[in-house]
Amino acid sequence: MVEYQDDNLKMNIKNILIYFSILSLMLACKVDKEQTIDPVASLFSKTTVAAEKEYRFIDSISLKLDVFVPSKRLGESPWMAYTDGNKPTLLYFHGGGWKDGEKESRILEILPYVDKGWVVVTANYRLLKDASLPEIIGDCRTALEWVYEHANQFKMDTTKIFISGNSAGGHLALMSGLLKDDSFYGSDFSSKHKNNIAGIINWYGITDVPLFVKNWKNKQILTKDDMSLDTIYNYTSPINFIDGTIPPILTIHGSIDSVVSFKHAEILHQKLDENNMKNKLLKIDGKKHGNFNAEEMTYIYKEIWKFTDEVLAKQE
């Protein structure tokens, strides 16, 4: 299918930041002297960014996402064409303690998937100043619903969808991939689609909400009504949704993380082991909240590809 993005001619500041983030990362890469393909030109020539797509309008707030699609440039109208065949797809949620952040903030972490030829979707969601934690989870499930409903348009393979995120985004990725009933969260996903997520890639995510907020002075910010905190904790902690039917989970977590303690990862993977579910925990020794160096990031992505390859191989 050929599609030309008219709004590419009117790129806003966020789109420009995305573009130059890609260029900056690729220019920083060391290229072997025998390498004949310029990595910057390569990525430019094989990817289209369909930016600022509204996936939900709620409480006067427009929630948007960006889609990175493997493409080829035609040199004439309609200028761009998506490459043939549906692709493995990553849906990514940013971190920020559910209070801060935006989809552009983690652009560098999704570039390896873009370079590998995946479709990548990065989504914003409401923050705690505008919504309760269950409602935020509902936003993320609605973003997942958008992915399913636009799969053909953007060449996404709905049998090969992975969900990922960092910190609070890791929590939202886990909840989005684990839920089977959306009625509590204000989303319609479960009434329309079977949750057929291929896997979850959790970067130092929150798995036990009461453990994470135990030192918060205003825990009531998690809820915007008279609902008890115990109810909120029960419905928003990923460790409460582990059973024998969930997708495989890979977690990356620093051993001395003081923001989201390593205990979150330990509790999650203990429950996964108890339920005999495929999982892997990458403990990055001596590291805090995502301060991984180049060698560690290289190792992490090798493990991610090993994980995704194993998951996808079982589908064949």
Give 228-272 pLDDT, tens digit per residue. Answer: 999 999 999 999 999 999 999 999 999 999 999 999 999 999 999
Number of domains in the chain: 1
pLDDT of the residue at 21: 56
pLDDT of the residue at 303: 98
Across the range 140-165, mean pLDDT stands at 97
pLDDT of the residue at 194: 76
105 within domain boundaries:
yes
Q: Does the model's pTM come out above 0.75?
A: yes
104 within domain boundaries:
yes
Percent of the chain scoring above 70 in pLDDT: 87
Cβ distance 68 to 49 under 8 Å? yes
Task: Tell me: pLDDT of 304 over 50.
Answer: yes
182 within domain boundaries:
yes
Query: Which CATH number goes with the domain that contains 216?
Result: 3.40.50.1820
260 within domain boundaries:
yes
Q: How many residues does the chain have?
A: 316
Residue 148, token pair as written in the block = 């399913």
Across the range 151-170, mean pLDDT stands at 98
Cα torsion 92, 17, 87, 93 to 10°: value is 0
Coil, strand or helix at 15: helix
218 within domain boundaries:
yes
Element (H, E) at 95: none
Provide the pLDDT confidence category of residue 1 given band limits of 50, 70 and 90: very low
pLDDT of the residue at 218: 86
pLDDT in tens, 33-74: 555 766 666 778 889 999 999 999 999 999 999 999 999 988
> Which of residues 312 and 22 earns the better pLDDT score?
312
Residue 311, token pair as written in the block = 């998951």
What φ, ψ does residue 216 adopt, rounded to 5°? -70, 140
91 within domain boundaries:
yes
1 within domain boundaries:
no
Residue 144, token pair as written in the block = 């997942």
Range of the domain at 305: 6-27+35-313
84 within domain boundaries:
yes
CA distance 15 to 3: 18
Provide the pLDDT confidence category of residue 31 given band limits of 50, 70 and 90: very low
Quote the mean pLDDT of the chain.
89
